[in-house]
Amino acid sequence: MQAPQGGPQRIPMENLSKPIFAQDEMGRPFIIVKDQGNKKREHGIDAVRSHILAARQIAKLLRTSLGPRGLDKILVSPDGDINITNDGATIMSEIQLSNEVAKLLVELSKSQDDEIGDGTTGVVILASSLLDQALDLIEKGIHPIKIANGFDKACKIATENLELIADEVKIDTESVDANLSKDSDLFKAASTSLGSKIVSKCRDKFARMAVESVLNVADLDRRDVDFELIKVDGKLGGSLEDSKVIKGVVLDKDFSHPQMPKQVTDAKIAILTCPFEPPKPKTKHKLEVESVEEFKNLQEYEQSTFKRMIEQVKQAGANLVICQWGFDDEANYMLLANELPAVRWVGGSEIEEIAIATKGRIVPRFEDLTPEKLGHAGTVREMALGTTRDRILVIEHCDNPKTVTALIRGSNKMIVDEATRSLHDSLCVVRNLIRDNHVVYGGGSAEISCSLKVAEAADKQQGIDQYAFRAFSQALDVVPTSLAENSGLDPIQVLTSLKAEHVKQKNAYLGVDCLGNGTNDMRQQFVIETLIGKKQQFLLATQLARMVLKINDVIISGKDQY
Residues serving a catalytic function are: 87, 120-121, 425
**Neighbouring-strand partners of residue 349:** none
Parallel/antiparallel/unpaired status of strands 263-272 and 375-384: antiparallel
Rounded distance between C-alpha atoms, residue 458 and residue 100, angstroms: 32
Task: Please give the helix or strand (H or E) that residue 263 lies within, else none.
Answer: strand 263-272
Q: CA 86 to CA 64: how far, in whole Å?
A: 9
Query: How far is the CA of 239 from the CAs of 260, 352, 412, 487, in angstroms?
Result: 29, 30, 9, 29
Shortest CA distance to 344 belongs to which of 261, 276, 248? Answer: 276
CA distance 467 to 479: 21
* Angle (CA) 112 116 120, round 5°: 40
Using alpha carbons, list the distances in angstroms from residue 178 to 81, 170, 171: 43, 11, 9
Residues 6+ positions from 26 with CB-CB distance below 8 Å: none
| Residues whose CB is less than 8 angstroms from the CB of residue 409 and which lie 6 or more positions away in sequence, other chains included | 234, 235, 236, 237, 238, 239, 240, 242, 243, 385, 386, 416
DSSP code for 178: G
Question: Do residues 514 and 486 lie in contact, with contact meaning Cβ atoms separated by under 8 Å?
Answer: yes
Helix (H, G, I), strand (E, B) or coil at 132: helix
Which residue, 543, 438, 517, 522, is CA-closest to 479?
A: 522
Beta bridge partners of residue 230, listed in sequence order: 404
Tally the residues of the chain: 562
Report whether 455 contacts 470 (CB < 8 A).
Answer: yes
Phi, psi for 338 (deg, rounded to 5): -95, 10
CA 66 – CA 196 distance, rounded (Å): 8
CA–CA separation, 25 and 32 (whole Å): 16
Partner residues linked to 321 by β-bridges: 270, 342
Helix (H, G, I), strand (E, B) or coil at 513: coil
